[in-house]
């Protein structure tokens, strides 16, 4: 074989390194593009789909700080307070002077003939504040003898309840009638105690309520009389004049309001209501 190669063989020999270099550059470029494409692919497409169902929400209630009897006692006091607040309307209506006051004020408005004057909210608000005035000594005793010692942990809950009942029972017993007490002693089959202070609240409370209803209706009847007389006089005058088509209430209402204002009716009614409990 000749020592000098032909030109075609020499070109083939020189082209082989060039081809190898081009293949190496192409492989490097492809190797750089493959991670880039993998990175550009969305995460959701790479990760497998989560087929597990989502966990349902839960609610956990726990009493914190209940490390001892004092903490449980505080929680129990809160429960008792919420119970008393829920029963506050019944206590206000059945164990205080509120019942008599609100019924008398309702009779007074009806006797005057002004159906919506004053409004129900005003009458109820006035009755509440008059109740606070009348019951102030009783509430003061309850706070001094029962509430404050209980909060200061000087007495137990049972003793505090007994001390709170005593002033209320004393107030109610001043208003009840003996026949009402006898009635509910018979209905509840309770033996007659030795003293009124030993009467159970199951007997005292309903006796007090029906006594208050009776007294309130009596006061309402007395309030109706002067306004009834005005209505009868106005109706007689209208009939004598032949004006039978004119409602007598329309004419008598201004006269009843004038009479009530001239005698300072609100002062007299409120004074009579407060003094009726003394």
Q: Would the pLDDT of 156 be above 90? A: no
Distance CA 261, CA 268 (A): 11
3-state secondary structure at position 246: coil
Q: Would the pLDDT of 7 be above 80? A: no
Name the residue with tokens 């006035």: 126
- Reading the block at residue 210, the tokens are 């029906």
What are the extents of the domains in the chain? 70-223
Q: Would the pLDDT of 13 be above 50? A: no
Q: What percent of the chain has pLDDT over 90?
A: 8
Name the residue with tokens 């074989």: 1
What confidence tens digit (pLDDT) does each residue in 139-153 have?
Answer: 888 888 887 887 777
C-alpha distance across the termini of the chain, in Å: 149
pLDDT for 77: 66
> For residues 78 and 117, is the Cβ–Cβ distance under 8 A?
no
pLDDT for 33: 44
Q: Would the pLDDT of 249 be above 60? A: yes
Residue, of 15 and 247, whose pLDDT is higher: 247
Question: What are the start-end ranges of the H helices in 95-177?
Answer: 98-112, 120-142, 148-151, 157-173
Q: What percent of the chain has pLDDT over 70?
A: 71
What confidence tens digit (pLDDT) does each residue in 217-235 have?
Answer: 999 899 888 888 888 888 8
Max mean pLDDT among 153-167, 172-186, 242-256 falls in 172-186
Q: What is the pTM of this model?
A: 0.66
Closest CA to 168 of 195, 194, 143, 193: 143
Residue 3, class by beta-carbon neighbours within 10 Å (0-12 exposed, 13-18 middle, 19+ buried)?
exposed
Which pLDDT band holds residue 210 (cuts at 50, 70, 90)? Answer: very high
pLDDT for 233: 86
> For residues 127 and 102, is the Cβ–Cβ distance under 8 A?
yes
Q: Would the pLDDT of 38 be above 60? A: no
Q: What is the mean pLDDT of residues 167-191?
A: 87
């Amino acid at each position: 074989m000749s020592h000098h190669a032909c030109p075609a063989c020499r070109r083939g020999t020189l082209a082989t390194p060039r081809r190898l270099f081009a293949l190496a550059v192409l492989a490097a470029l492809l190797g750089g593009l493959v991670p880039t494409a993998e990175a550009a692919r969305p995460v959701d497409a790479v990760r497998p789909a989560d087929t597990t169902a989502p966990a349902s929400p839960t609610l956990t209630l726990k009493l914190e700080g209940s490390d001892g009897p004092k903490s449980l006692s505080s929680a129990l006091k809160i429960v008792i307070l919420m119970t008393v607040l829920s029963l506050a309307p019944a206590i206000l209506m059945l164990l205080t002077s509120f019942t008599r006051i609100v019924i008398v004020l309702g009779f007074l408005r009806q006797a005057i003939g002004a159906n919506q004057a004053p409004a129900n909210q005003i009458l109820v608000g006035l009755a509440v504040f008059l109740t606070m005035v009348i019951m102030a000594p009783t509430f003061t005793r309850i706070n001094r003898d029962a509430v404050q010692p209980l909060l200061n942990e000087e007495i137990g809950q049972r003793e505090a309840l007994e001390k709170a009942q005593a002033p209320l029972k004393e107030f109610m017993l001043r208003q009840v009638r003996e026949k009402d007490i006898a009635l509910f002693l018979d209905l509840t089959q309770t033996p007659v105690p030795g003293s009124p202070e030993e009467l159970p609240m199951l007997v005292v409370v309903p006796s007090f309520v029906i006594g208050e209803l009776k007294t309130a209706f009596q006061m309402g009847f007395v309030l109706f009389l002067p306004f009834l007389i005005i209505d009868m006089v106005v109706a007689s005058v209208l009939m004598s004049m032949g004006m039978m088509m004119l409602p007598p209430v329309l004419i008598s209402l201004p006269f009843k309001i004038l009479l009530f204002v001239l005698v300072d009716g609100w002062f007299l009614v409120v004074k009579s209501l407060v003094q009726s409990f003394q």
